[in-house]
Every structure is written in C-alpha cells, then in structure tokens.
Amino acid sequence: MAPKLRSSTVANIHTPNRDPSQSSPGSSSPNRNEFSQQENDIVEESQRSPKSKMQQLMEDMEGAQRKRRAANKQRVSKAYITVQTSTRVSITTLFDTHQKNADEVYEAHISRLKSLFEQKVEIEQTMKERLEAVRRDYLVQVDALKKVVEFRCKELR
C-alpha cells in the first residue's frame, strides 16, 4: 500500500497515473475534482509538449548565462581596448617628448661644437700669424747676428 501524503494536490501532481475522478481520502470538496483535472491537464500538456517546462527553464537559464558571458566578454574586451589605447597614447607621448628633448640636446651639442670649431679655426689662424711673425723676427735676428759675426771676423783678421 502506498504511503498517505499530507496534501492531495501533491499526491495528484506526483502520481499522474492516478485517476483524477478519485478523490483523496478525507477530501470532500466538490471543486477538488475540477482542480485535479486542471492540474492533470497541465501536467499532461507539459509532458506531451516537445520541451517540458523544466527543459525550457534550463534552456532559458543557459541562454541568459550565454548572454551574461557575452556581455562580460564584450565589457572586458572594451576595457582592454581602452587601456591598450590609453597606454599606447601614453607611450607614444613619452617617446615623442623624449625625442623632442633629445633633439634639443643634440642641436645644443651641434651648436656648441660649431662654436668650438670656429674658435679653433680662429686660434689656429692666430697661431699661424704669430708663428709667421716669430719666423720673420728670427730671420731678422739671424741676419743681424750674421752681420755682427762677419764684422767681428773682419776685425780679427
């Protein structure tokens, strides 16, 4: 014998093979047969349909989960693109600033080297002029010394 259930509604739902015209023991309600019949119709309809309500619920949950995953993936992808773009801009800006500073330093060095080269040319020119003056003075002194030596040689003879 089957165990007695507390609610006849639960008994009718869980035992679809039970004849709906039979009422549960202790049930004297005239609407009970109608309610059981409606429940049985719903249960039979859900069992006859290609997808039960549970299957439909599971499919809906899976669909919602796919949508959430797609939305999260899209959100993460957008965040990645945003961070990537801002990082790329920051790096580009940093390198551009560095290149600008390096160009300024390079130009300053080149300018300084040109200035030093001009000074070198001037110093070399001055040295060349002074060397020529020293050479001329040397030759003049050599001539004077020769004359003195020749004069003394003539006196000694």
The pLDDT tens digits for 26-74 are 444 445 555 677 777 776 665 665 668 888 888 889 999 999 999 999 9
Amino acid at 107: E
> Which amino acid appears at position 151 of this protein?
F
The pLDDT of residue 13 is above 60: no
pLDDT of residue 39: 75
Which tokens sit at 127?
Answer: 């040295």
Question: In the structure, what pLDDT confidence band is assigned to residue 124 with cuts at 50, 70 and 90?
Answer: very high
**What is the value of pTM for the model shown?**
0.43
Neighbour count for residue 18 (Cβ, 10 Å): 15
Give start and end residues of each alpha helix (H) in the chain: 8-14, 32-48, 53-156
